[in-house]
Chain A
């Protein structure tokens, strides 16, 4: 009786989500699913069929919010059974036997309810028992701690969204758990107005919020800013964080004075799991694979070089390295793996001791994921051609690359809170995240299209690069809450954080395969020469010591409760970085697939000497002392109107010193600035479940360390160099939003924003000595940028089915001067500057998410099909007019499910990129008009008015496993 509709719904789901899938996989999935269904059915059929019913609602004692997922236990005659509270907050036991019963409700983070006892007698009788639960932490003490009273459910976060004084969007732990994503970066793309930037293997890495790229956003852990292991910037790679460690993920789009002011797009706040009210244990383990490595394409693995530091670091800068000082294991240990198995595991244990005064939670997560991509790319020549048209694109290289990436992530965090007495509470939070990414990149580079490579003469540079990147973040925060009197509350944080990034001995081996072809196109001769070996080391480390303090005073002025807060922070930050390349050449010896026979030597005079490194400026030390003070008030001038406002002052004092000789201009410097950042946030309650918000805030974005130091690094197309004359970016931000929270997890939000950005940092090409050394340099644009848009978000549940959509329209514009290289008839070629107006880099006009959810507490089955759409966006700004690279609209469809097998055990699965969507990048230039000599290198083209210059395929990724919850 019950199963029939389930089959219908679930098969419909399969149709939606698996339609485009491989038939074999589908079959595989069906059989797995049948097994689950069978398990579910056998559970269901064990239930007796008598018609009495006990039902009711379970809600939060304070807020009245329904508590979906709370467990209701019914005991009759010694036998116990339970149901979970459904999405609208209700529960029911259908086939209750006659007689006495006891009913009790419990829920994580809440005190267990009283035992409701009663007797049920007549047939058809329906008893209604409504239960409200009290928040365990609130009950323990009246101390109110914003960071720790959050809960993991959807409606709990709806409450936060609704009551929050500022504009934000939240994903709850329950939502994240069901998402097809295992990292925070990938989960972020489900948030309204957020798009993600992917790494070479297709893994999401950085978040672009409302069209504002990474640099405009900040990352917080439990409200505390953390340093970044990134080699250049302050923004944190979000793929470092396993998503299962989160209690919720907040994207804060409007800043209050009490928050750090360096976010223009938004701040991502990772609220980590906090100690529960009673013993909790959950564990999960899963395995999976990428479809990329399952049909013949092997995964390339290597063992990392044992040389963790460069010869210059080990022996000092005056040491002249010789080939004997290097180890080529990262190349010589290369081997293939057939369809390697990815695995993840997680464990969370929490409990409360000492009369509930001491709470501890420890959570660990391990991921070992094998992914990769196949990439084809045309690299533009350093300069276009003036003929036949001005700025006619030309290409210098056609790359064919295969990436194999093994990512090992370990995340451990723990939180200990101790209630000293009813007025004082302390908590200690520790987070350690470590990621080892081993990337093997095989490249076949058809070099010098038309210059050195022609129809009769092919020069293909084969290279094999093995990169191990180790990144870690450690954060330790001691937090205290103190009620100083009736009207005063004081809280503080002491923070120590370290972020590290090491790239030990990235090794690249390359050689030229020279083929001479005859007119018929067959190879006449081939020889492999020009062997080269590069050993590269790169390290950086950030250390933060910070203190935060806030004093909150809540007097009654007139009849109005007013909350005043003053506070501030002090941060002492240091960063150290080093960077060195060693170039070894195999000379005139031909390469005959015998790497060990190559007589590698450093043949540039003094090339092995650390002190002769051209890049001494990349070895630097930075000290930054920031302090900020704020004043904030909050009151309701009208019953329904809440006003929060104030002002924040941020002082930045940054000094850098490079290892460059003292004759080098810009080798060291000190930069100080002060910003005064006012803000005001209005919230008007149209009704109990409706708000209208308006806010203004001023904010800043500090340049990255790696771009303000006059460093110089090899970039993708151009070398890049730093600019100590960069000014920090400031912005005025306006937001207007209407919110409707109809109840449960449902919501409807519509909002609009406008940002004016001053001194935006954009990348410009500048000459640096010679012609081959045109470099990209970040500079403040003289013009201001504007960015405005519209966001809509709707989530609605119909019983077990839920629909969630969000859509963001963004429009940003900036005008910069670009190069125009042209030759008018009879005249000589010349280059001039022209202005070009374009969107900000990374911004897509249209961004949307749609997901269909099926959540049945009764069946213990949750399913989700999630679709992400990222419209065309500016991918890479070219120094030349009209030659910017655009990423084509990208669609990705993911599916995930979780099915309870027993009370404590569930099975879950995640399938990513079901349709094998490719990331494609185009030049907006008709490909038929490219120089005929280069046509043969263009490959398959699909848009007449554009030229496809890069396509990356990642294939589908599968993950399945078990979750155990005690």
Chain B
């Protein structure tokens, strides 16, 4: 016993001493001067178009921290081509019924972890319990306002620590013509300038009607976001079309109507680059169940001339697995993938890990292992053919902090919001350390604390969007 005393005492002293380091310290409170915003947007009255005889209310300047701004029902809030709207941290922008935010110039919503921004509709109660409300009655899918519409002249759109909620109302004639964005759109966010930059980091997108985010073309960086209840009966959550380059990483998707992330080179404009999207460390839960058409995807989809890569992703109970389309064929010569994890509650999900009819090539680094059994991906397996997934049902439980697997009590389609669930990994998770960290993100946007991407998180060692070391998605 005695021989332990000295070490114990030393230990206690050491702790004490190190604790003393905490008492030590220095506090400086030095005056800094910030020049006032030149064009503070007034919050005295709603941003109103009704006096103008049109639906347009133009806006530029700065929305100040802590203030709440309101857009009058039916108005299009327009940022003109040479103008900038900067939303300081802690701004709430309440969108009236049928409104839109049309960005022809620059939009920076510079929220912070402590003071996020809100672009939302006030007074709506969320009901995020699984099966708590049917999609038809859920305000998340009702399209209260039209969304953020980036026109072809929008050179920069930044959404940082920003909640965007309840968008997706059909744009209608006036809005789509002002934005020059094409008719019939029902997107929560549209970006359509292949020379422009779209940055979305640490933000939340809640609700939506069609594709919640449509990137018609653009340089993109979409990092560490959470997507819930996206798309009512169809729509890919992040749908990138011809001329899109960049990275989608550390995003959490739950209950997307169709795919979480999709890349296609459809409609590549003359002068625009080929679509090339790098996707890593994303987590997809219960994707693809509100798509009424069959044969669509549920997590990641590469098609029609799109190049890129996808690694370290996690798909939990998605209706279809990671999908590479053979016709019109993705740019398979410039597409690589591996280290992707899938979980199936049921056989029908496991049977679509490698979706029937497509050309996803099973990789040796995939989990479950592609040589799990003689029935699962047998030696004569050809791409896209039917196989028996019995042996991979409910295998390799990912050990989320709080999300029961296999699920019970609810249909898979009813898991559409995070609520009290927690998709961080427990230390015992088989997902830990399985990631490929040799790949590199494709950074096409400027790196900047405000007017660019503030942090390009590199690929993580643990699969999915939450890293055991606290890295990755910060939500």
Residues of A that sit less than 8 Å from B by CB: 381-383, 385-387, 394, 448-457, 459, 512, 514, 516, 518-519, 529-530, 585, 587-588, 603-607, 611-617, 660-665, 712, 767-774, 819, 821, 823, 828-833, 931, 933-934
Nearest residue in A to B303 (C-beta to C-beta)? Answer: A451
Cβ of B270: which chain A residues have Cβ within 8 Å of it?
A: 819, 831-833
Shortest beta-carbon distance, A377 to chain B, in Å?
A: 18
Given contacts A452-B293, A518-B386, A604-B186, contact A662 B269 (CB under 8 A): no
Query: How far is it, in angstroms, between the C-alpha of A939 and the C-alpha of B181 when the chains are bound?
Result: 38
Shortest beta-carbon distance, A450 to chain B, in Å?
A: 2
Count residues of chain B with CB under 8 A from any CB of chain A. Answer: 73
Nearest residue in A to B306 (C-beta to C-beta)? Answer: A829
Cβ of A771: which chain B residues have Cβ within 8 Å of it?
A: 216-217, 241-243, 264, 266-268
Shortest beta-carbon distance, A323 to chain B, in Å?
A: 14
B226 at the A interface (CB under 8 A): no
CB-based contact B386/A831 at 8 Å: no
Nearest residue in A to B169 (C-beta to C-beta)? Answer: A605
Among A387, A660, A663, A768, chain B packs the most CB atoms within 10 A around the CB of A663
CB-based contact A606/B176 at 8 Å: no
Query: How far is it, in angstroms, between the C-alpha of A931 and the C-alpha of B209 when the chains are bound?
Result: 34
Given contacts A771-B216, A771-B266, contact A661 B329 (CB under 8 A): no
Query: How far is it, in angstroms, between the C-alpha of A773 and the C-alpha of B186 when the chains are bound?
Result: 14
Shortest beta-carbon distance, B471 to chain A, in Å?
A: 31
CB-based contact A605/B209 at 8 Å: yes
Cβ of A617: which chain B residues have Cβ within 8 Å of it?
A: 173
Query: How far is it, in angstroms, between the C-alpha of A862 and the C-alpha of B193 when the chains are bound?
Result: 69
Shortest beta-carbon distance, B33 to chain A, in Å?
A: 41
CB-based contact B183/A605 at 8 Å: no
CB-based contact A829/B274 at 8 Å: yes
Cβ of B98: which chain A residues have Cβ within 8 Å of it?
A: 606
Shortest beta-carbon distance, A538 to chain B, in Å?
A: 16
CB-based contact B173/A769 at 8 Å: no
B362 at the A interface (CB under 8 A): no
List the 10 closest A-B pairs by CB distance, nearest first. Answer: A771-B267, A450-B327, A769-B182, A454-B357, A773-B182, A605-B143, A771-B241, A452-B295, A828-B274, A933-B327
Query: How far is it, in angstroms, between the C-alpha of A603 and the C-alpha of B209 when the chains are bound?
Result: 10
CB-based contact A931/B329 at 8 Å: yes
Residue of A386, A604, A773 touching B305 (CB-CB under 8 A): A386
Shortest beta-carbon distance, B320 to chain A, in Å?
A: 11
Query: How far is it, in angstroms, between the C-alpha of A385 and the C-alpha of B172 when the chains are bound?
Result: 33
Shortest beta-carbon distance, B309 to chain A, in Å?
A: 14
Cβ of A773: which chain B residues have Cβ within 8 Å of it?
A: 182-183
CB-based contact B358/A454 at 8 Å: yes
B72 at the A interface (CB under 8 A): no
Shortest beta-carbon distance, B189 to chain A, in Å?
A: 13
Q: Convert B296-326 into 0s and 1s, putting 1 for each residue whose CB lies closer than 8 angstroms to a CB of A.
A: 1000000111010000000000000000011
CB-based contact A529/B294 at 8 Å: yes
B214 at the A interface (CB under 8 A): yes
A-B contact pairs, 30 of them (CB 8 A): A382-B266, A385-B328, A455-B357, A456-B384, A456-B386, A457-B357, A459-B294, A516-B356, A530-B293, A604-B143, A605-B144, A606-B143, A613-B172, A614-B183, A660-B173, A661-B177, A662-B53, A663-B56, A664-B174, A664-B178, A767-B269, A769-B180, A769-B183, A770-B181, A771-B216, A771-B264, A772-B266, A819-B270, A831-B270, A833-B270
Cβ of B181: which chain A residues have Cβ within 8 Å of it?
A: 769-770
Residue of B168, B233, B269, B305 touching A585 (CB-CB under 8 A): B233
Identify 8 new A-B residue pairs, CB closer than 8 A, beyond the known A383-B266, A828-B307, A931-B329: A382-B266, A451-B325, A605-B142, A613-B172, A660-B177, A662-B53, A663-B177, A769-B216
Residue of B170, B173, B331 touching A604 (CB-CB under 8 A): B170
Cβ of A450: which chain B residues have Cβ within 8 Å of it?
A: 325-328
Shortest beta-carbon distance, B192 to chain A, in Å?
A: 6
Query: How far is it, in angstroms, between the C-alpha of A773 and the C-alpha of B181 when the chains are bound?
Result: 9
Given contacts A660-B173, A663-B54, contact A769 B356 (CB under 8 A): no
Cβ of B217: which chain A residues have Cβ within 8 Å of it?
A: 771
B385 at the A interface (CB under 8 A): yes
Cβ of B56: which chain A residues have Cβ within 8 Å of it?
A: 663
Query: How far is it, in angstroms, between the C-alpha of A701 and the C-alpha of B142 when the chains are bound?
Result: 49
Query: How far is it, in angstroms, between the C-alpha of A381 and the C-alpha of B232 when the chains are bound?
Result: 26
CB-based contact B183/A712 at 8 Å: yes
Cβ of B184: which chain A residues have Cβ within 8 Å of it?
A: 614
B99 at the A interface (CB under 8 A): no
Query: How far is it, in angstroms, between the C-alpha of A700 and the C-alpha of B262 when the chains are bound?
Result: 50
Residues of B that sit less than 8 Å from A by CB: 53-56, 76, 98, 136, 142-144, 152, 168-174, 176-186, 190, 192, 209, 214, 216-217, 232-233, 241-243, 264-270, 272-274, 276, 292-296, 303-305, 307, 325-329, 331, 334, 356-358, 384-386
Cβ of A767: which chain B residues have Cβ within 8 Å of it?
A: 267, 269
Cβ of A529: which chain B residues have Cβ within 8 Å of it?
A: 292-294
Given contacts A530-B293, A607-B170, contact A830 B274 (CB under 8 A): yes
Given contacts A459-B294, A519-B385, A664-B178, contact A394 B173 (CB under 8 A): no
CB-based contact B173/A613 at 8 Å: yes
Cβ of B334: which chain A residues have Cβ within 8 Å of it?
A: 828
Nearest residue in A to B53 (C-beta to C-beta)? Answer: A662
Query: How far is it, in angstroms, between the C-alpha of A768 and the C-alpha of B217 when the chains are bound?
Result: 12
Nearest residue in B to A612 (C-beta to C-beta)? Answer: B172
Shortest beta-carbon distance, B191 to chain A, in Å?
A: 10
Query: How far is it, in angstroms, between the C-alpha of A823 and the C-alpha of B273 when the chains are bound?
Result: 11
CB-based contact B295/A453 at 8 Å: yes
CB-based contact B143/A587 at 8 Å: no
Nearest residue in A to B144 (C-beta to C-beta)? Answer: A605
Cβ of B171: which chain A residues have Cβ within 8 Å of it?
A: 614
Query: How far is it, in angstroms, between the C-alpha of A660 and the C-alpha of B181 when the chains are bound?
Result: 16
Among B76, B217, B305, B325, chain A packs the most CB atoms within 10 A around the CB of B305
Shortest beta-carbon distance, B461 to chain A, in Å?
A: 30
CB-based contact B293/A512 at 8 Å: yes
Query: How far is it, in angstroms, between the C-alpha of A664 and the C-alpha of B327 when the chains are bound?
Result: 39
CB-based contact B293/A934 at 8 Å: no
Query: How far is it, in angstroms, between the C-alpha of A518 and the C-alpha of B98 when the chains are bound?
Result: 47
Nearest residue in B to A605 (C-beta to C-beta)? Answer: B143
CB-based contact B209/A614 at 8 Å: no
Shortest beta-carbon distance, A578 to chain B, in Å?
A: 14
Nearest residue in B to A773 (C-beta to C-beta)? Answer: B182
CB-based contact A394/B328 at 8 Å: yes
Nearest residue in A to B178 (C-beta to C-beta)? Answer: A663
Query: How far is it, in angstroms, between the C-alpha of A516 and the C-alpha of B217 when the chains are bound?
Result: 34
Query: How far is it, in angstroms, between the C-alpha of A585 and the C-alpha of B290 when the chains are bound?
Result: 14
Shortest beta-carbon distance, A321 to chain B, in Å?
A: 14
Nearest residue in A to B290 (C-beta to C-beta)? Answer: A588
Query: How far is it, in angstroms, between the C-alpha of A352 and the C-alpha of B83 when the chains are bound?
Result: 79
Shortest beta-carbon distance, B244 to chain A, in Å?
A: 9
CB-based contact B177/A664 at 8 Å: yes
Cβ of A768: which chain B residues have Cβ within 8 Å of it?
A: 180, 182-183
Cβ of B233: which chain A residues have Cβ within 8 Å of it?
A: 585, 587-588, 603
Shortest beta-carbon distance, B402 to chain A, in Å?
A: 30
Query: How far is it, in angstroms, between the C-alpha of A339 and the C-alpha of B268 when the chains are bound?
Result: 50
Cβ of B269: which chain A residues have Cβ within 8 Å of it?
A: 767, 831
Cβ of A605: which chain B residues have Cβ within 8 Å of it?
A: 142-144, 168-170, 209
CB-based contact B305/A385 at 8 Å: yes
Query: How far is it, in angstroms, between the C-alpha of A768 and the C-alpha of B269 when the chains are bound?
Result: 11
Residue of A585, A616, A769, A831 touching B268 (CB-CB under 8 A): A831
Nearest residue in B to A450 (C-beta to C-beta)? Answer: B327
Cβ of A833: which chain B residues have Cβ within 8 Å of it?
A: 270
Shortest beta-carbon distance, B168 to chain A, in Å?
A: 8
Shortest beta-carbon distance, A927 to chain B, in Å?
A: 16
CB-based contact A451/B182 at 8 Å: no
Cβ of A453: which chain B residues have Cβ within 8 Å of it?
A: 295
CB-based contact A514/B173 at 8 Å: no
Shortest beta-carbon distance, B302 to chain A, in Å?
A: 12
Nearest residue in B to A771 (C-beta to C-beta)? Answer: B267
Cβ of A381: which chain B residues have Cβ within 8 Å of it?
A: 328
CB-based contact A603/B296 at 8 Å: no
Among B173, B217, B242, B326, chain A packs the most CB atoms within 10 A around the CB of B173
